[in-house]
């Protein structure tokens, strides 16, 4: 396992278990089977969980999971949740109520990391919300504050306001390299890190789609979302060219296409970790994910990937900075 010191008091596994699938877009979840699978991930060493207050029962699952562990094992868990408020005037009462609710659901005395998301930049109350979160951090209810899908411009505003932010969770993959335009450098220069999601494009970056015709009936919300991203990036023919290159590299290291795609992003500057969704009780990728830590890409590997990517469209020019896809 590889670990990353995200903050002085927070060390995470560099592959995080993403829990958005329990929100309901990826099939029904059996709670008991999900809990059993969470324990297996933990025992393998995947101890860091990414979740949110809006991911259905995800916070409740974490609470049940932590209560099922011996105290010594419970101390090894990192649970990184999110707060996604409606775009309204944010008060101290609203902020504390939301944090207290997450603490109750997760059965914790303090949150390792609260990742804040805000839908509408034209509504300026996100700065108020972050100041209230900072107060709660100083009081001990929160250990660290992060962001989800904020752009570089807004992060500069936060820095100028004196807010201490440790991370920003953004979409980052071989397909979507927009973080390399502005955000990555800003994070590196200001002692912040990125948590990457969408790195295997919901499963599109896999052998399942290699040398296959363009799909039109994708069965999960993630696959549908990232197929649109592939279309904007360059289309299915170019995507097949990329899969072929990744497959060749994977055979060289005896790992999967998804492993290569994950390793590629883990080696980028300012990337703390990659979030890979877990389909608890439905499918398991523990062994495959663990192989990511057994190799490093060399110059030839990176050059081969770059040869394909330079033929793609400029997603930063088409979509905008990180998170702009949610605010168009």
Q: Is residue 186 part of a domain?
A: yes
Q: Is residue 207 part of a domain?
A: yes
* Total structural domains within the chain: 1
Q: How far is CA 263 from CA 12, 19, 125, 291, 297, in A?
A: 16, 21, 37, 10, 7
Q: Is residue 2 part of a domain?
A: no
Q: What 3-state class would DSSP assign to 277?
A: strand
Report whether pLDDT(25) > 80. no
pLDDT in tens, 250-306: 999 999 999 999 999 999 999 999 999 987 766 678 899 999 999 999 999 999 999
Q: How far apart are CA 88 and CA 118, in angstroms?
A: 10
Residue 298 makes CB contacts below 8 A (sequence gap 6+) with none
pLDDT in tens, 227-256: 999 999 999 999 999 999 999 999 999 999
Q: Is residue 317 part of a domain?
A: yes
Q: What 3-state class would DSSP assign to 134?
A: helix
| Enclosing H/E stretch for 116 | strand 113-116
Give, rounded to a whole angstrom, the gap between the first and last alpha carbons of the chain: 38
CB burial readout 196-210, b (16+ within 10 A) else e? bbbbbbbbbbbeebe
Q: Is residue 171 part of a domain?
A: yes
Contact 313, 234 (CB under 8 A): yes
Q: Is residue 305 part of a domain?
A: yes
Q: Is residue 5 part of a domain?
A: no
Q: Is residue 3 part of a domain?
A: no
Backbone angles phi, psi at 79, to 5 degrees: -115, 110
pLDDT in tens, 45-78: 999 999 999 988 999 999 999 999 999 999 999 9
The share of the chain scoring above pLDDT 70, in percent, equals 97
Q: How far apart are CA 295 and CA 152, in angstroms?
A: 32
Model-level pTM?
0.95
Q: What is the pLDDT of residue 24?
A: 67
- When pLDDT is averaged across residues 220-232 and rounded to a whole number, the result is 92
Evaluated on CA atoms 210, 265, 163, 146, the torsion sign reads: positive
Q: How far apart are CA 206 and CA 209, in angstroms?
A: 6
Contact 71, 3 (CB under 8 A): no
Domain that holds residue 24: 10-326
What length does the chain have? 328
Evaluated on CA atoms 319, 323, 325, 327, the torsion sign reads: negative
The domain that holds 275 is classified in CATH as 3.20.20.100
Q: How far apart are CA 144 and CA 278, in angstroms?
A: 24
Residue 250 makes CB contacts below 8 A (sequence gap 6+) with 256, 257, 259, 260
Q: How far is CA 120 from CA 87, 88, 160, 281, in A?
A: 6, 10, 20, 36
Q: How far apart are CA 282 and CA 280, in angstroms?
A: 5
């Amino acid at each position: 396992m590889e670990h990353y010191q995200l903050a002085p008091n927070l060390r995470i596994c560099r592959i995080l278990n993403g829990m958005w699938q329990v929100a309901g877009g990826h099939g029904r979840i059996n709670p008991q089977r999900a809990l059993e699978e969470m324990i297996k991930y933990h025992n393998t060493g995947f101890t860091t969980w990414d979740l949110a207050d809006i991911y259905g029962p995800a916070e409740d699952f974490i609470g049940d999971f932590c209560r099922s562990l011996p105290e010594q094992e419970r101390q090894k868990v990192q649970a990184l949740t999110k707060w996604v408020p409606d775009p309204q005037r944010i008060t101290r009462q609203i902020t504390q109520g939301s944090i207290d609710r997450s603490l109750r659901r997760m059965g914790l005395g303090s949150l390792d990391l609260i990742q804040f998301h805000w839908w509408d930049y034209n509504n300026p109350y996100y700065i108020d919300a972050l100041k209230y979160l900072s107060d709660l951090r100083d009081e001990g209810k929160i250990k660290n504050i992060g962001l989800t899908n904020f752009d570089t411009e807004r992060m500069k505003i936060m820095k100028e306001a004196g807010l201490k932010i440790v991370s920003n969770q953004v979409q980052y993959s071989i397909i979507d390299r927009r973080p390399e335009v502005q955000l990555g450098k800003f994070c590196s220069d200001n002692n912040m890190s990125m948590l990457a999601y969408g790195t295997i494009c919901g499963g599109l970056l896999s052998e399942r789609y290699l040398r296959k015709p363009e799909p039109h009936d994708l069965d999960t919300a993630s696959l549908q979302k990232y197929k649109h991203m592939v279309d904007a990036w360059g289309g299915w023919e170019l995507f097949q060219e990329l899969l072929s290159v990744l497959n060749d590299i994977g055979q060289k290291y005896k790992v999967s296409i998804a492993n290569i795609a994950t390793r590629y992003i883990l080696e980028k500057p300012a990337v703390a970790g990659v979030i890979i969704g877990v389909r608890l009780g439905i499918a398991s990728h523990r062994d495959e994910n663990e192989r990511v830590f057994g190799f490093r890409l060399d110059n030839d590997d990176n050059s081969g990937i770059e040869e394909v990517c330079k033929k793609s469209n400029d997603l930063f020019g088409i979509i905008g900075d990180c998170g702009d896809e949610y605010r168009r």
